[in-house]
Amino acid sequence: AKSRGRAQSVVFEPSMDSAGDDLDFAQALHAALRFESDALWVGYQPIVDLPTRRIVGVEALLRWTHPELGTVSPVRVVSVAERVGLINELGRTVCDIACRDLARLRAELGVDDLYVSINVSPMQILNDDFAALILATIDDAGIPRSAVRIEITEHLLVEDMDRALRSLTTLSEAGIRLSLDDFGTGYASLGYLGKLPVDTLKIDSSFVRDVETDARVFVEAIMALSRALAVDVVAEGIESEAEEAALRQLGCQYGQGYRYGKAVSVDELWDVLIRHYLTAGDAPGG
Ligand code: C2E
Ligand code: MG
Ligand code: MG
Ligand code: MG
């Protein structure tokens, strides 16, 4: 039961292969972007300081309710956007929403140390305008550059290290912090870590899941590496008390996961933060 555009139904049959589905999907995404549909939004998941449970930042995660398919994974949305040439527009939209939301939260709640961490696709970074666009978006929103982190994955580095390095160095020199997402799951050699201006390693949730058993030794190695490089570590996907305890014991300072909260809308985040600052006795604004 798909409502196809007339022009496309001539070319693609629904049964042809996934190309037709991709095209429908891409058209719906394009429409959502163009009309600033409410179905396209950004969710925010808290990032906490494990010893104190203080919320130090939030990760911006793309959310889209497809008109027919319902909730779809951002992994799929991003991959289609990359294939059909919408990734730069999508990336700009997410960055714009995230920076404006953070500006509002910081102003209304009187906090000056909450950051937002934004995922970017390798394809965006390889675009020559990437760094300038990010900086302009942050400046337009009126937040300091130190309030924004950019999350990149190792896949990028395999593709075009030199070009990526240029964009990322520009951002770093402008005061933006860089996080290496899904650390330990990529294909790049470790040598790139010395070349990149990375500030944070995000331990992939697959290690966190088994940190009490098989993965403990790998988390230990990542912690040793982080100390040698003087970078922060955020563990992703913490769900249980035992995982949290094991990570803390290994010296991991920051964490993220359902244990502390799922990604929520900016309005819900507002409520979460109000309650958080009241109960933490950690008066916003210092
Ligand atoms: P990621 O950046 O590694 O984000 C973490 C993912 O783990 C998120 O899934 C989050 O909802 C999920 N998660 C967090 N805590 C837990 C937990 O305790 N248990 C479990 N099982 N999952 C947890 P989500 O939102 O589905 O995003 C998936 C991936 O899609 C992200 O992985 C990121 O690579 C990509 N993505 C999301 N938003 C964007 C975006 O705006 N731009 C780009 N380029 N990629 C995005
Ligand atoms: Mg991420
Ligand atoms: Mg990750
Ligand atoms: Mg576990």
Q: What is the per-residue DSSP string for 193-218?
A: HHHS---EEEE-HHHHHTTTTTTHHH
For residue 35, what pLDDT is reported?
Answer: 87
Structure tokens at 4: 């196809």
Query: Which of 119, 130, 202 has most ligand 1 atoms within 8 Å of its beta carbon, as the pocket-test mutant?
Result: 119
Residue 165 has pLDDT above 70, yes or no: yes
For residue 277, what pLDDT is reported?
Answer: 93
Structure tokens at 11: 């070319």
Residue 92 has pLDDT above 90, yes or no: yes
Residue-wise pLDDT tens digits, 31-70: 999 988 899 999 999 999 999 999 999 999 999 999 899 9
Q: For residues 62 and 94, is the Cβ–Cβ distance under 8 A? A: yes
CA 69 to chain centre: 23
Spatial neighbors of 124 by CB under 8 A, at least 6 apart, are 87, 88, 91, 130
Residue 250 has pLDDT above 50, yes or no: yes
The closest of 218, 205, 187, 221 to 255, measured between CA atoms, is 205
For residue 19, what pLDDT is reported?
Answer: 62
**DSSP alpha helix (H) spans, the chain:** 6-11, 18-34, 74-84, 87-109, 122-125, 130-141, 155-173, 192-195, 205-209, 216-229, 241-249, 266-279
Nearest listed ligand to the Cα of residue 183: 3
Spatial neighbors of 85 by CB under 8 A, at least 6 apart, are none
Is 263 touching ligand 1 by the criterion CB < 6 Å?
yes
22 band by pLDDT with thresholds 50, 70 and 90: confident
Neighbour-count burial of 222, counting CB atoms closer than 10 A to its CB (0-12 exposed, 13-18 middle, 19+ buried): buried
Question: What is the rounded average pLDDT of the residues 152-176?
Answer: 87
Expressed in angstroms and rounded, the spacing between residue 208 Cα and the centre of ligand 4 is 6
Mean pLDDT of the chain: 90
Neighbour-count burial of 259, counting CB atoms closer than 10 A to its CB (0-12 exposed, 13-18 middle, 19+ buried): middle
Residue 13 has pLDDT above 50, yes or no: no
3 band by pLDDT with thresholds 50, 70 and 90: very low
Expressed in angstroms and rounded, the spacing between residue 115 Cα and the centre of ligand 4 is 28
By mean pLDDT, which of 90-104, 247-261, 267-281 is the weakest?
267-281
For residue 18, what pLDDT is reported?
Answer: 58
Is 71 touching ligand 1 by the criterion CB < 6 Å?
no
Residue 280 has pLDDT above 90, yes or no: no
Tell whether ipTM is more than 0.85.
yes
Question: What is the rounded average pLDDT of the residues 146-160?
Answer: 86
Residue 151 has pLDDT above 90, yes or no: yes
Residue-wise pLDDT tens digits, 184-202: 888 777 888 888 899 999 9
279 band by pLDDT with thresholds 50, 70 and 90: confident
